[in-house]
Structure 1
Amino acid sequence: MKLLLKFCLLSYAIFSLNKVNAQITPYEASNKVATTTYAEAIKYYESLAKSYPKQSKLYTYGKTDFGKPLHLLVLSKDGIVDPVAVKKANKRVLLINNGIHPGEPEGIDASMMLARDLLKGNRLPSDVVIAIIPIYNIDGSHNRTSTSRANQNGPVEYGFRGNGRNYDLNRDFIKSDSQNSKAFQLIFNTWQPEVFVDTHTSNGSDYQYTMTLIPTQKDKLNKELSTYISKTMVPDLYKSMAKKGYEMVPYVNSISNSPDAGISGFMESPRYSTGYAALHNSLSFMPETHMLKSFDKRVDATYKLLESYVEITQRDAKIIGENKAKADADVAKQVNFPLEFKLNRSTFDTITFHGFNAKQKPSDVSGLSRLYYDRNDPFTRTIRFYDKYEPVASVNKPIAYIIPQAWENVIELFKLNRVKMQRLTQNTTIEVEMYYIVDYKTAPRPYEGHYNHSAVKLDTVVQKIKFFEGDYVVYVNQPTNRYIVETLEPQGIDSYFNWNFFDSVLSQKEHFSAYIFEDTAAELLKKDPELKAKFESAKAADPEMQKSAQAQLNFIYKNSDYYEPTFNRYPIGRLVKNVPLNLK
């Protein structure tokens, strides 16, 4: 009997030890020099969820270009781990995304330790549900080397920035070429986080800080959110991190070659994760640890910052929820929407900056003068911080947009983003504003798989357009208005048009044969005195046209009913008169 008891006690001790060891992260087990692989991360989170079944649940969503789903660990003190139940319980959601650039892996390891410590220490907040994406770019995380981040100090091995299709996923949140993006948007719009954090590592100049921070640009946010994030949340994050031993600074986006000449706030457009989150009135942040600090310090700083987000979101859960509700209501009623911003270089604040003096010395490679930062010559000085952005382009929303059902990629993304849509129940001719693309610039080289457009110039024409049964009507009276307007207005910096969704309308489908159209053109001029006067006036004003029979035929063709009205016509209608429509 005693022998059996000893055996049972030994077995229990071995089981307990194995359970403790199972909760040691691979990062910790490596003496803090290695980052966790994808397989290790998922196994670890599965173990956590199994060990704490009431307070945690591990979900899977969609799939990625790698063929794997995105995982999401949800932590809840009282066991409410269903997204609908979370909203009914009036809890805030803090969503943490890791490994969008797997070569910047601090968040991967910090989140694993934070989840364990919150569960093990019974430290989960009562009013906040924490949702963690272990590794977003699963594809890139499998492409591990120790060389792709040439300027980075560790870890010993890490993933690659590009995913399986070589996309930088932090440029993919509007165009959504990757399955990763679609799976993320499913997660984001299912859980509707009030606070979103996407963990990164910086590139750039050398300075004394381990952690830098990019918050959602305040000047493009709804006023309730802007006031809270700029006056309360960001200052308190800075105070919290200073107490924890990591004084922070805004992301070092230098105005010139060196930060001591001044830095500027970052304007994240909707292609970025935080810019995308801002379209949904989420307070979003991109922490950037400094690449040259040791990996263990970077992970520790990330851990402490994520911990600070938990603490502040719990402390301010009520006001964060109220601000989000007000912002959603305001945006649903908002009329004018800025589409492009410019940094105001005449307005700035001053901040204390701890840097290293930038100097020049002969290069060992070229023998020419080269820049370096002298770590033996640190400085503390006051520098300028430019962080005021002003809108330089804006648009008034229509009553509704009408989207022909042929544009399936638009419809799919609107559904993912919980945009409310209705469909015409019968073929209907509707008077709408239609844009004609008058001019635009196209990048000479591809960027993230696209030849992006920019500098779009439009001509707005009121036309009666026949739409068809099943076409979509999107009323612009929703909390998702910013997403709707900034994607559908062609002049928006990250509009669907600028990402080439509608390039097929930019090519003419029908033409004329000159020898046949000669007779047709002559007959048109005889029958239409107004066209003839317009033609003669144009010819008189253009000597080149006078010398070209083809140019003269082109003019008559383009000003006749034979010329296709859909050429260069943006296919989305803007309903500006509130007319009754038959919808379902």
Structure 2
Amino acid sequence: MLSILLSALLLTSAPKDDWRTPFEKGNGNTTATYAECIAYYQKLDAAYPEIQLRAVGPTDSGQPLHEVIVSLDGQFEPTAPTGRRRPVVLVQNGIHPGEPEGIDASMALVRDYVQKKELRRQLENVTLVVIPIYNVDGALNRNSTTRVNQDGPESYGFRGNARNLDLNRDYVKQDSRNARSFAELFRRWQPDVFVDTHTSNGADYQYFMTLIATQKDKLAPAVSEYLTQRLLPALNTGMEKRKSPLTPYVDFEGRTPDARGLVGFLETPRYSTGYTTLFNTIGFVTETHMLKSYTPRVQATYDFLDVLLRFVHQDATALTQARALATQKLSEQKTFPLSWKLDTTAAEKVNFRGYTGRTKPSEVSEQLRLYYDRKAPFTRPINYYNTFRPTTTVTRPQAYLIPQAWGEVLDRLRTAGVPLQRLTRDTTLTAEVYYINDYKTSPRPYEGHYLHNSVTVRSTQQALPYHRGDYVARLDNATARFLIETLEPQATDSYFAWGFFDSILQQKEHFSDYVFEDVAADLLRRDPALREQLEKQKQQDPALAKSGAAQLEWVYRHSKYYEPTHLRYPVARWQGGLLPVE
């Protein structure tokens, strides 16, 4: 039998109560409901002073988001980052409640870590924080059919939350109450390591679990080196010893994983580990394999969390030193990447344990279809492409100037812990201002937004009026990278990309052509240089030369009548020294 199924018989200091989890009481193919999960943690909280369950904020379901803190000395509040003596590991479960292994594994793990002497030692210098179920909304919406590709459990929650949002696309935009509650929890704990538990879709292979580690090129160098040289090797070794070897997440571009190799996952800040990366937290997404039965998937998740905690306990000093160095270097960093591209010339080899992909006639279409032949397993080296290069970078401003009108954006900055100051008087400030030159917009909504991409900007120095109460967000603190990746419009997951500034894209005033014809003619008579510029443009652009309306529009846009705020991005970059702030 698997170890977590026997754990209730192996407890060294358990009370006489039945401490089996709902999963352990079942048939190996069931997962705890939301009510069962919270009730189990309430029972642990009541029995053990080392455990505290508490509600930390609302979710869209109307039920609270909970956190479970496991602390041997009863310290249930984080200390200041400079004073913290032990690292924090934050485990998040049930963001997709149809992928519930982490829910069941964490319940057993928390119990075992207080009841078993050998495991208790791992928390002597580590604080464990668990989010029992993040997508409470989806967990309450149980069914047995929506995970059609998955082998168990018998019933489970739904991927979308109460607003049908995928919460693993909501970390930066924070449309859900769940995401805003998470951001406040994350800000409070500032974890050193974050784990988001999942189940994968995709190819068939021999592994019980694949792993997404924070993309190494996106981490600060000190933390990236720690991840690749110390933490990942320890996790791979530890899971190999548990008979549950890891492989990088099986994302690939060929017909099968071995055709062209695996491709690293570039988690942008919309995703959990892309968001946590902005604060120098090492993130992992565990992806157990959908086609393995449920019990070994729960076991693999339990084993991963156990191996991780053991190593963080053992290596706490090196981990905290790496993060401290990253924080120091952040204050010195001058340029920041905003977008990335996979380097297809850089590959490492991974020894992949797969199944041979074959084809056979489809019983549905009679066309050839893919299947994986489990009677033909293989183990062989394949390419793994996991190096990304920056394609767009930006220099660090001293601060961003944000008019108070943009409340939705300001609310999200506050939730992330950005220190905001306010101007104490009306003033005119000369700052670097962007105009949106071009952008493309998705033709279909994605997570409630029409996303912008391929954004280009024109930069200019401009004197603008600011009012008492407008905001200043300085970049001399730990939120610098978060600010840059949300407020620079070219960034992949900027607030501009998510549509929070769309009103600037619409022109508010225009002209009647029959009236402006005479105005335009007078402008061209009075300004020969403007006439010459128009004629030159017509020579270069045949479409303009053939269109009277287009020429009239050209003159309007080059006149004093064209509104100066159209396409002007309202967040300005400040490099000018002291400001009149509170």
TM-score clears 0.5: yes
Q: Distance in 2 between matches of 1:301 and 1:580?
A: 54
| Alignment partner of 2:20 out of 24, 44, 48 | 24
Matched with 1:43 is 39
CA drift of 1:271 comes to 0.6
Residues 358-369 of structure 1: pairs in structure 2 closer than 5 A: 358-369=357-368
CA drift of 1:85 comes to 7.1
CA drift of 1:523 comes to 3.6
**Per-residue displacement from partner, 1:289-331 (whole Å, max 9, x unpaired)?**
0111110000001001001111111111111111111111211
CA drift of 1:383 comes to 1.1
Q: Give the AA of the match of 2:64.
A: P
Q: Distance in 1 between matches of 2:84 and 2:524?
A: 73
| Alignment partner of 2:218 out of 217, 220, 223 | 220
Q: 1:541 to 1:338 in 2, by over 3 A?
A: closer
CA drift of 1:366 comes to 2.2
The answer to whether the aligner puts 1:264 opposite 2:260 as a matched pair is no
The answer to whether the aligner puts 1:211 opposite 2:217 as a matched pair is no
Q: Distance in 1 between matches of 2:544 and 2:146?
A: 57
Q: Distance in 2 between matches of 1:91 and 1:231?
A: 21
Normalising by structure 2, what TM-score? 0.94
Q: Distance in 1 between matches of 2:546 and 2:236?
A: 70
**Per-residue displacement from partner, 1:252-290 (whole Å, max 9, x unpaired)?**
112311111211221111110000000010010001001
Matched with 1:10 is none
CA drift of 1:146 comes to 1.1
Residues 56-67 of structure 1: pairs in structure 2 closer than 5 A: 56-67=51-62
Asked if structure 1 preserves the Cα contact closer than 8 Å seen for 2:14 and 2:115, the reply is: no
Q: Give the AA of the match of 2:111.
A: R
Matched with 1:328 is 327
The answer to whether the aligner puts 1:289 opposite 2:288 as a matched pair is yes
The answer to whether the aligner puts 1:74 opposite 2:69 as a matched pair is yes
Asked if structure 1 preserves the Cα contact closer than 8 Å seen for 2:57 and 2:66, the reply is: no
Q: RMSD value over aligned CA atoms?
A: 1.7
Q: Distance in 2 between matches of 1:247 and 1:541?
A: 62
Residues 375-414 of structure 1: pairs in structure 2 closer than 5 A: 375-414=374-413
CA drift of 1:49 comes to 0.6
Residues 458-473 of structure 1: pairs in structure 2 closer than 5 A: 458-473=457-472
Q: 1:231 to 1:546 in 2, by over 3 A?
A: closer
Matched with 1:128 is 126
Asked if structure 1 preserves the Cα contact closer than 8 Å seen for 2:402 and 2:572, the reply is: yes
What is the number of equivalent residue pairs in this alignment?
A: 566
Matched with 2:445 is 446
Q: Distance in 2 between matches of 1:20 and 1:32?
A: 23
Q: Distance in 2 between matches of 1:395 and 1:149?
A: 42
**Per-residue displacement from partner, 1:510-540 (whole Å, max 9, x unpaired)?**
0112233233334433444443443444455
Q: Secondary structure at 1:91's aligned position in 2?
A: coil
Q: Which stretch shifts more, 473-482 or 489-498?
A: 473-482
CA drift of 1:541 comes to 5.0
Larger Rg: 1
Q: Distance in 2 between matches of 1:547 and 1:213?
A: 58
Matched with 1:520 is 519
The answer to whether the aligner puts 1:153 opposite 2:151 as a matched pair is yes
Q: Distance in 1 between matches of 2:16 and 2:568?
A: 64
Q: Distance in 1 between matches of 2:418 and 2:215?
A: 24
Q: 1:532 to 1:41 in 2, by over 3 A?
A: same
Q: Secondary structure at 1:130's aligned position in 2?
A: strand
Q: Give the AA of the match of 2:364.
A: V
Q: Secondary structure at 1:166's aligned position in 2?
A: coil
Matched with 2:420 is 421
| Alignment partner of 1:90 out of 70, 75, 85 | 85
Q: 1:341 to 1:536 in 2, by over 3 A?
A: closer
The answer to whether the aligner puts 1:273 opposite 2:269 as a matched pair is no
| Alignment partner of 2:190 out of 192, 199, 206 | 192
**Per-residue displacement from partner, 1:437-493 (whole Å, max 9, x unpaired)?**
111111111111111110111111111111111111112222211111011111111
Residues 226-265 of structure 1: pairs in structure 2 closer than 5 A: 226-261=224-259, 262-265=261-264
Asked if structure 2 preserves the Cα contact closer than 8 Å seen for 1:333 and 1:477, the reply is: no
Matched with 1:488 is 487
Residues 277-356 of structure 1: pairs in structure 2 closer than 5 A: 277-356=276-355
Q: Distance in 1 between matches of 2:543 and 2:283?
A: 56
CA drift of 1:393 comes to 1.4
Q: Secondary structure at 1:184's aligned position in 2?
A: helix
CA drift of 1:501 comes to 0.7
CA drift of 1:87 comes to 6.7
Asked if structure 2 preserves the Cα contact closer than 8 Å seen for 1:355 and 1:378, the reply is: yes
Q: Which stretch shifts more, 516-525 or 358-367?
A: 516-525
Q: Distance in 2 between matches of 1:550 and 1:258?
A: 54
Q: Distance in 2 between matches of 1:101 and 1:38?
A: 13
Asked if structure 1 preserves the Cα contact closer than 8 Å seen for 2:151 and 2:293, the reply is: yes
CA drift of 1:332 comes to 2.2
Asked if structure 2 preserves the Cα contact closer than 8 Å seen for 1:434 and 1:572, the reply is: yes
Q: Distance in 2 between matches of 1:280 and 1:289?
A: 26
Asked if structure 1 preserves the Cα contact closer than 8 Å seen for 2:337 and 2:392, the reply is: yes
| Alignment partner of 1:111 out of 95, 106, 118 | 106
Asked if structure 1 preserves the Cα contact closer than 8 Å seen for 2:342 and 2:387, the reply is: yes
Q: Distance in 2 between matches of 1:59 and 1:321?
A: 27
Q: Distance in 1 between matches of 2:341 and 2:546?
A: 45
Q: Give the AA of the match of 1:133.
A: I
In structure 2, stretches of 5+ residues that fail to align are 1-12
Q: Distance in 2 between matches of 1:426 and 1:232?
A: 52
Q: Distance in 2 between matches of 1:18 and 1:323?
A: 37
Q: Distance in 1 between matches of 2:548 and 2:283?
A: 59
Asked if structure 2 preserves the Cα contact closer than 8 Å seen for 1:32 and 1:295, the reply is: yes
CA drift of 1:18 comes to 12
Q: Give the AA of the match of 1:121.
A: K
Q: Distance in 2 between matches of 1:75 and 1:144?
A: 29
Q: Distance in 1 between matches of 2:386 and 2:550?
A: 51
Overall identity of the aligned pairs, in %: 49
Q: 1:85 to 1:435 in 2, by over 3 A?
A: closer
CA drift of 1:179 comes to 0.7
Matched with 1:500 is 499
**Per-residue displacement from partner, 1:354-394 (whole Å, max 9, x unpaired)?**
11111111222222221111111111111111111111111
Q: Distance in 2 between matches of 1:360 and 1:243?
A: 35
Q: Distance in 2 between matches of 1:395 and 1:456?
A: 14
Q: Distance in 2 between matches of 1:260 and 1:325?
A: 39
Q: 1:427 to 1:52 in 2, by over 3 A?
A: same
| Alignment partner of 1:579 out of 553, 577, 580 | 577
Q: Distance in 1 between matches of 2:540 and 2:336?
A: 40
Matched with 2:167 is 169
Q: Distance in 2 between matches of 1:429 and 1:527?
A: 32
Q: Secondary structure at 2:58's aligned position in 1?
A: coil
Q: Secondary structure at 1:510's aligned position in 2?
A: coil
Q: Distance in 2 between matches of 1:217 and 1:546?
A: 50
Q: Distance in 1 between matches of 2:541 and 2:222?
A: 56
